[in-house]
Amino acid sequence: MEAKSQPQIIPRSEHNISRKQFSPNAIKVLYRLKDGGYDAYLVGGCIRDILLGIEPKDFDVVTNATPEEIKRLFRNCRLIGRRFRLAHIVFGREVIEVATMRGHHMSTNSEGDPTSKASEQGQLLRDNVYGTIEEDAQRRDFSINALYYSVKDFGVRDFAGGIDAIKARRIELIGDPETRYREDPVRMLRAVRFATKLDMDIAPATLSPILELSPLLGNIPPARLFEETLKLFLNGKAEANFLMLRELGLFKELFPSLEEILAQENSEFERRFVQQMFANTDARINSNKKVTPAFIYAALLWFPLRNRAAHLQQQGISEYDAFMQAISQVLSENAQRVAVPKRFTLGARDIWHIQQRLDRRSGQRAYRLSLQPKFKASYDFLLLRVESGETEQQTLADWWTEYLQQDVSGQKDMVKNLGQKDRPKRRYRNKPRRKPKQDT
Ligand code: ATP
Ligand code: MG
């Protein structure tokens, strides 16, 4: 789809967007910019979503004022970003993002040009050339994301056939797909996210280059890929995203060690485990329950971790040490691709450690384990293992389910009834026994 220089303008009488559907703060920002003598539009996801009858997640504003000019108009303004400079207008907990319209990033003479910079693969490293609204529309990703709403005339401007694409439920890149993916490979992930979120199809020309270009994701900073995976996993469509990412060869770029396992023919259990985890995540999100990213990443790295630990044990390392080393190795390998912040990897470590300890329940152990901060997540993790086919853990899972329903005395009885076989095993069997004291 090519962008046009003359937009199709849909007047107020012909669209269903009213000011009431926008955040009052976004409207304030639009009027302040307009009264300051600038052009300003709501653009992107919020217009697209309202046209589709979905409640917008956030409100993005674009203007011909430069970041410095925006800062002068708003006291509550912060300038952010390097690769892409933006203004954040802060209203308590709500942030309205205001971008300056971007222009062409003449890649041929970008040498020495400080405002725009591309890599050898055509990836845009910096993009701060300002331009007109027509140019701004051309460098947005999908036609459905290039619709602009103005408070000057309350019309919607469509530069790239976005209205038709919305009617046809079609995700299509603006411009030449391969060039656009090379400029920013994350657009491949965005195509998947919008297709599942909006229940649309990816247009053939936008779909076909992905399989071949997926390795370009390797050039994206791991911190940005973490942000993108989080959006893919926490938007209530994680299961569908997971399946489509695998189908399009994108998942292997994000979690290569897991994909290697899932791609094997006899890995039905592993595939079911990951898919079930995402299905559960979606169910929780869609009923407004809390989801911890630590759980998701713990699940995604669980099989790579177990394989690595088994491999280390084969080399003669003790079970405990192998598990510890495998955790460090798997986490640091993963950080090369997807930089999961420490607060989540710490949680994942806890969940993994507790998996190893769930069957040691005698004495005070069950009680103490149940007080651990990540205990509930670890119990859910055990249920997931059983649910996806680890039947040998069924008895243990049932025991914990009952334990959590009992009062203190019921719990004590359960521990007593564990019987001889679950008595604590002597942990330090290799330690030399202390010699009994001699009387003489
Ligand atoms: P949502 O907020 O629901 O995830 P969105 O479309 O608003 O969807 P944002 O990431 O908030 O997505 O971006 C706002 C707009 O900025 C997009 O609609 C699109 O026009 C433009 N945009 C964002 N990321 C890119 C990109 N990588 N390449 C080109 N344009 C982009
Ligand atoms: Mg948005």
DSSP annotation string for 148-187: EEETTT--EEESSSHHHHHHHTEE-BSS-HHHHHHH-THH
Confidence class for position 123, pLDDT limits 50, 70, 90? confident
Query: Does residue 45 line the site of ligand 1, with CB under 6 A?
Result: yes
Query: Does residue 140 line the site of ligand 1, with CB under 6 A?
Result: yes
> Which residue's CA is the closest to the ligand 1 atom numbered 14?
44
> Which residue's CA is the closest to the ligand 1 atom numbered 12?
45
In this predicted model, what pLDDT tens digit does every residue of 206-224 receive, in sequence order? 999 999 999 999 999 999 9
384 exposure class (CB count in 10 Å sphere: 0-12, 13-18, 19+): buried
The β-bridge relationship of strands 170-171 and 77-80 is: unpaired
Ligand located closest to 47 CA = 1
On whether residue 119 sits in a domain, the answer given is yes
User: Which pLDDT score is estimated for 110?
Assistant: 42
Q: How far is the CA of 344 from the centre of ligand 1 (A)?
A: 26
Site to substitute for ligand 1 among 42, 60, 198, 225, most atoms within 8 A of C-beta: 60
* Average pLDDT estimate for 7-34: 92
> Does residue 108 surpass a pLDDT of 50?
no
Percent of the chain whose pLDDT exceeds 70: 91
Q: How far is the CA of 315 from the centre of ligand 1 (A)?
A: 48
User: Which pLDDT score is estimated for 19?
Assistant: 86
On whether residue 100 sits in a domain, the answer given is yes
In this predicted model, what pLDDT tens digit does every residue of 135-169 receive, in sequence order? 999 999 999 999 999 999 999 999 999 999 999 99
On whether residue 150 sits in a domain, the answer given is yes
Query: Does residue 183 line the site of ligand 1, with CB under 6 A?
Result: no
Ligand located closest to 105 CA = 1
Q: How far is the CA of 143 from the centre of ligand 2 (A)?
A: 15
On whether residue 106 sits in a domain, the answer given is yes
* Average pLDDT estimate for 382-392: 93
Q: How far is the CA of 87 from the centre of ligand 2 (A)?
A: 14
> Does residue 112 surpass a pLDDT of 50?
no
Query: Does residue 186 line the site of ligand 1, with CB under 6 A?
Result: yes
- CB 188, CB 248: distance < 8 Å: yes
In this predicted model, what pLDDT tens digit does every residue of 247-276 receive, in sequence order? 999 999 999 999 999 999 999 999 999 999
Ligand located closest to 56 CA = 1
Q: Is 60 known to be catalytic? A: yes
Instruction: Identify the bridge partners of residue 94 per DSSP, sorted by sequence position.
Output: 91
On whether residue 320 sits in a domain, the answer given is no
Q: How far is the CA of 98 from the centre of ligand 2 (A)?
A: 11
> Which residue's CA is the closest to the ligand 1 atom numbered 4?
45
Query: Does residue 241 line the site of ligand 1, with CB under 6 A?
Result: no
Task: Please count the structural domains in the chain.
Answer: 1
Rounded CA gap, 411 and 365, in Å? 12
Site to substitute for ligand 1 among 140, 166, 197, most atoms within 8 A of C-beta: 140
User: Which pLDDT score is estimated for 418?
Assistant: 87
> Does residue 394 surpass a pLDDT of 70?
yes
Show the tokens assigned to 202.
Answer: 């990816």
* Average pLDDT estimate for 351-368: 92
Average pLDDT, the chain: 91
On whether residue 139 sits in a domain, the answer given is yes
Which segment, 108-117, 399-408, 429-438, is predicted with the most confidence on average? 399-408
Q: How far is the CA of 145 from the centre of ligand 1 (A)?
A: 7
> Which residue's CA is the closest to the ligand 1 atom numbered 6?
45
- CB 47, CB 147: distance < 8 Å: yes
Give the structural domain span for 149.
Answer: 1-174
Site to substitute for ligand 1 among 125, 145, 192, most atoms within 8 A of C-beta: 145
Query: Does residue 83 line the site of ligand 1, with CB under 6 A?
Result: no
- CB 132, CB 166: distance < 8 Å: no
User: Which pLDDT score is estimated for 92?
Assistant: 94
Q: Among the options 49, 136, 141, 350, which is catalytic?
A: 141
* Residue position matching structure tokens 């997640």: 57
* Average pLDDT estimate for 329-340: 97
User: Which pLDDT score is estimated for 83?
Assistant: 74
> Does residue 106 surpass a pLDDT of 70?
no
On whether residue 47 sits in a domain, the answer given is yes
In this predicted model, what pLDDT tens digit does every residue of 49-94 receive, in sequence order? 999 999 998 999 999 999 999 999 999 999 998 778 899 999 999 9
Backbone angles phi and psi of 200, in degrees to 5: -120, 165
* Residue 171 vs residue 423, higher pLDDT: 171
Find the Cα–Cα–Cα–Cα dihedral 347, 351, 353, 355, rounded to 10°.
Answer: 180
What CATH number is associated with residue 102?
A: 3.30.460.10
Confidence class for position 111, pLDDT limits 50, 70, 90? very low
Q: Is 39 known to be catalytic? A: no
- Spatial neighbors of 331 by CB under 8 A, at least 6 apart, are 301, 340, 345, 348, 349
Q: What angle do CA 380, 382, 387 make, to 5 degrees?
A: 90
> Which residue's CA is the closest to the ligand 1 atom numbered 26?
141
> Does residue 245 surpass a pLDDT of 70?
yes
Backbone angles phi and psi of 98, in degrees to 5: -120, 120
* Residue 1 vs residue 45, higher pLDDT: 45
Confidence class for position 107, pLDDT limits 50, 70, 90? very low
On whether residue 16 sits in a domain, the answer given is yes
pTM, 2 dp: 0.89
Q: Is 113 known to be catalytic? A: no
Rounded CA gap, 126 and 18, in Å? 35
Question: Which region, left, alpha or beta, applies to residue 15 given φ > 0 means left and ψ of -120 to 50 means alpha?
Answer: beta
Ligand located closest to 43 CA = 1
Rounded CA gap, 115 and 101, in Å? 13
